[in-house]
């Protein structure tokens, strides 16, 4: 346990108290929808938890249920129309069973979310100043001036230059990276304990991606905030996260500390993802693409959803859905052959 803590401390450069109780835990969360093509299960029996100050990466291709699950946690997807089961515990209380009014109180204050396309997530016809300050003004009952001062403070924190003079600017006058900074400032206005970042850098240039990731890490560290980082980019997660959840087709494929995930990936999908990732520390002839495409949610293969693309697949995989099994402390995978694969990769 100690060795692992140290390892993680080395990787991310700051400390997370792994013995602490999780600040939020998701237990058996499932989200389904009725579509014209029949019912689909976007999120299927997902469980994870996050501690104070921790960064949790959620990795998966598009359509793997990453965003739907988090939007359900935020209360942006509700039942009906969605069919939601499972629990999301915050301070031991299930927030999914709370009335809407109470859940709204949690948003902003306890948890906030930033989105992939920052320009679309900002209101085109309201000024930046209004959008950053309005929650603070309405929820905290602050005066207009006090709220604008708060907005300037937040804009300084997310390093928007000459903040005060840009209070009256509109989103279309900002670049993509600046819009993302505005959105981060907006999400931080109520001082949330958990920040959910849904692909925060996907729509940005590579150099700007770096700045935004650094900024997210910085505000997390300064505020002791927990960060849930959703991405399809393993590189981003490798640098920032303490632990990660790998999602495939709405289910959890694997969850582990970053160290374990990279050293001993135990699900064929995780392994394939790692092999598809460019590295500087290993000589590779060429990157290994994962054959095939992810299944559409309305046509998930029987048994293991990854089976058609899996190099380890056996007849058993078509009949039996693999359950998530614990392999070591903080390391679980949902594959019938997880132990064997783990064994194999640890000797590579």
Partner 1 sequence: MPYLVRRAGHSAIMLLVVVSFVFFAGRMIGDPAIVMLGASASDTALEQLRNNLGLNDPLLMQYFRYVGGLVQGDLGVSFRYGFAQMPAERFMDGGGTPVMGLVLARLPQTLYLAAVALGGALALALVMGCLAAMYPRSWIDHLVNVLSLASVSVVQFWLGLVLIVLFAVHLGWLPTGGYGSWYHVILPALALGARPLGRVAQVTRSAMLDEMARPYVAAARAKGLPEHRIVSVHALKNAGIPVVTITGDELVQLVTGAILVETVFGWPGIGHLLVEALNNRDLPVLQGAILAVATLVIVVNLLVDITYTYLNPKVSLSSREN
Residues 141-180 that bind partner 1 (CB under 8 A): 170, 172-173
- The answer to whether residues 243 and 54 touch, using CB atoms and an 8 Å cutoff, is yes
Residues 67-86 that bind partner 1 (CB under 8 A): 71, 74-76
Count of residues touching partner 1 (by CB under 8 A): 34
Binder of partner 1 out of 18, 27, 40, 109 (CB under 8 A): 109
Binder of partner 1 out of 52, 83, 139, 321 (CB under 8 A): 139
Considering the complex, what minimum distance in angstroms separates the CB of residue 62 from partner 1? 16
Residue 107 binds to partner 1 (criterion: CB under 8 A): yes
Considering the complex, what minimum distance in angstroms separates the CB of residue 113 from partner 1? 4
Phi, psi of 80 (to 5 degrees): -70, 165
Residue 126 binds to partner 1 (criterion: CB under 8 A): yes
- The answer to whether residues 123 and 206 touch, using CB atoms and an 8 Å cutoff, is no
CA distances from 171 to 151, 168, 211, 267 (A): 15, 10, 19, 42
The Cα 15–Cα 291 span in angstroms is 39
Q: Which two tokens stand for residue 127?
A: 């000024």
Residue 140 binds to partner 1 (criterion: CB under 8 A): no
The Cα 83–Cα 78 span in angstroms is 8
Binder of partner 1 out of 19, 125, 162, 165 (CB under 8 A): 125
The CA angle 68-128-219, to the nearest 5 degrees, is 60
Residue 42 binds to partner 1 (criterion: CB under 8 A): no
The Cα 120–Cα 133 span in angstroms is 18
Considering the complex, what minimum distance in angstroms separates the CB of residue 122 from partner 1? 6
Q: Which two tokens stand for residue 279?
A: 């590295």
Residue 244 binds to partner 1 (criterion: CB under 8 A): no
Considering the complex, what minimum distance in angstroms separates the CB of residue 58 from partner 1? 16
Considering the complex, what minimum distance in angstroms separates the CB of residue 95 from partner 1? 13
Considering the complex, what minimum distance in angstroms separates the CB of residue 24 from partner 1? 16
Sign of CA dihedral 193, 146, 214, 198: positive
Residue 96 is classified by DSSP as: G
Q: Which two tokens stand for residue 285?
A: 């002839």
Residues near partner 1 (CB under 8 A) = 71, 74-76, 104-109, 112-115, 117, 120-126, 134-135, 138-139, 170, 172-173, 183, 186-187, 189-190
């Amino acid at each position: 346990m100690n060795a692992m803590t140290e390892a993680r401390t080395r990787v991310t450069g700051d400390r997370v108290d792994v013995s602490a109780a999780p600040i939020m835990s998701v237990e058996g969360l499932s989200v389904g929808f009725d579509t014209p093509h029949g019912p689909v299960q976007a999120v299927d029996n997902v469980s994870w938890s996050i501690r104070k100050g921790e960064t949790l990466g959620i990795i998966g291709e598009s359509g793997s249920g990453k965003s739907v699950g988090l939007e359900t946690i935020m209360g942006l997807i509700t039942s009906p129309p969605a069919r939601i089961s499972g629990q999301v515990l915050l301070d031991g209380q299930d927030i999914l069973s709370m009335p809407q009014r109470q859940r709204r109180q949690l948003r902003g204050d306890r948890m906030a979310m930033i989105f992939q396309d920052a320009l679309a997530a900002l209101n085109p016809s309201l000024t930046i100043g209004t959008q950053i300050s309005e929650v603070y003004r309405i929820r905290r009952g602050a005066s207009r001036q006090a709220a604008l001062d708060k907005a300037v403070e937040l804009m300084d924190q997310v390093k928007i230059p000459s903040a005060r003079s840009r209070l009256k600017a509109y989103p279309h006058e900002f670049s993509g990276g600046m819009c993302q900074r505005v959105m981060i400032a907006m999400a931080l206005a109520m001082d949330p304990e958990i920040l959910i970042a849904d692909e925060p850098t996907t729509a940005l240039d590579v150099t700007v991606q770096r700045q935004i990731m650094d900024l997210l890490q910085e505000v997390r560290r300064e505020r002791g905030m927990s960060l849930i980082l959703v991405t399809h980019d393993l590189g981003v997660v490798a640098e920032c996260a303490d632990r990660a959840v790998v999602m495939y087709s709405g289910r959890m494929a694997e969850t582990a500390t970053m160290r374990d995930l990279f050293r001993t990936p135990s699900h064929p999908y995780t392994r394939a993802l790692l092999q598809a990732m460019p590295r500087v520390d290993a000589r590779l002839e060429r990157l290994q693409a994962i054959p095939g495409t992810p299944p559409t949610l309305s046509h998930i293969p029987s048994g293991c959803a990854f089976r058609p693309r899996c190099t380890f697949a056996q007849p058993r995989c078509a009949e039996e859905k693999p359950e998530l099994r614990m392999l070591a402390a903080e390391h679980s995978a949902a594959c019938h052959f997880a132990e064997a694969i783990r064994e194999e990769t640890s000797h590579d």
